[in-house]
Amino acid sequence: MTWLGVRDRVFRALRADEELGVRRRGGGVGPLLAVLSMVGFGVAVAQSIPATVEDVVNRSDLIVLGRVTSTDPNGVEVGEWKQLFTRHTLRVEAYYKGSGPEDISLLTAGGFETRMEGGEPHQFWTQVVGSEQVKVGDEFVGFLRSVLGGYVFIEWDGAKYPVYLDGPEGERKVNLRLRKQKYMKGTALQGFKNLVRIEADPEPAAKVEEKLKGTKGITEVIPLKELRERILEIIRGEEPPK
């Protein structure tokens, strides 16, 4: 199955009808997250296709700055296929799109489940290679989709941007992946112009933007104090025509 097929199956499961609920995993395995009970370990492989910020801003229900404060020890089943997810608590420092409480539930594909075998509890780990994952203490800007029971990353590569400290004063920054010239500044803009100069197409800027889609894009370093303004600029610029 291709990455898009895996991702879409997960999202279809997450959008299942409300009456399916979110239940603790205790029985069989779903078609995607197959567990190898022989060794207590399972892997589902998905090839990640990188997305840029322009690809995810308007498909995201929330864009947040937050830190993971806790992780549930056992996974939860979500959707009609009972896919296994891990629930984390994300403490939100800032909402750049949407609004909500200080703490929200973030779901990531895979996780631990406890099964009774021979009258004894056994833990099994399921991993979805290529999906975005988090751990306690991670601080990042997340592009999230609302699902039953919480939120998931809108993409598996390009929806989570780690925050880091830079410079002698430890300023918090984030590296955003961009592909459109109109949103770039500084060294990112200069890098784009360098690509335009070597592009032979009659419309070189448009051609470069087309080539950057589905690649790593161009990374721009943005201080968190400037991030709200930059995110809002991209949201407005990517809104579909009315």
Question: Using CA atoms, how far apart are residues 230 and 198, in angstroms rounded to an integer?
Answer: 28
Stretch 69-79: mean pLDDT: 89
Stretch 9-22: mean pLDDT: 44
State yes or no: pLDDT of 216 exceeds 90: no
pLDDT digits (tens, 9 = 90+) for 130-146: 889 999 999 999 999 99
Q: Are 242 and 77 in contact (CB under 8 A)?
A: no
Question: Using CA atoms, how far apart are residues 148 and 86, in angstroms rounded to an integer?
Answer: 13
Question: Using CA atoms, how far apart are residues 35 and 41, in angstroms rounded to an integer?
Answer: 6
pLDDT category at 20 given cuts 50, 70, 90 is very low
pLDDT category at 29 given cuts 50, 70, 90 is very low
Structure tokens at 116: 């009774």
pLDDT digits (tens, 9 = 90+) for 175-202: 999 999 999 999 999 999 999 999 999 9
Q: pTM for the whole thing?
A: 0.80
Question: pLDDT value at position 197?
Answer: 96
| Average pLDDT of every residue of the chain | 83
Decide the pairing of beta strands 150-153 and 218-223.
unpaired
Question: Using CA atoms, how far apart are residues 83 and 23, in angstroms rounded to an integer?
Answer: 10
Question: pLDDT value at position 33?
Answer: 37
DSSP 181: G
For 126-156, the DSSP string reads EEEETS----TT-EEEEEEEEETTEEEESSS
CB neighbours of 185 closer than 8 A, spacing ≥ 6?
A: 220
Stretch 2-21: mean pLDDT: 46
Closest by Cα among 120, 126, 129 to 29: 126
Which secondary-structure segment (H or E) carries 26?
none
Topology given in CATH for the domain delimited by 3-161: OB fold (Dihydrolipoamide Acetyltransferase, E2P) (2.40.50)
Structure tokens at 236: 């407005």
Question: Using CA atoms, how far apart are residues 163 and 175, in angstroms rounded to an integer?
Answer: 8
- The rounded percent of the chain whose pLDDT value lies above 70 is 80
pLDDT digits (tens, 9 = 90+) for 53-72: 999 999 999 999 999 999 99
Stretch 5-27: mean pLDDT: 43
State yes or no: pLDDT of 44 exceeds 80: no
State yes or no: pLDDT of 214 exceeds 90: no
Residue 172 backbone class (left: φ over 0; alpha: ψ -120 to 50; beta: rest): beta
- Domain ranges for the chain, please list them: 3-161, 164-238
Question: pLDDT value at position 134?
Answer: 96
State yes or no: pLDDT of 115 exceeds 80: no
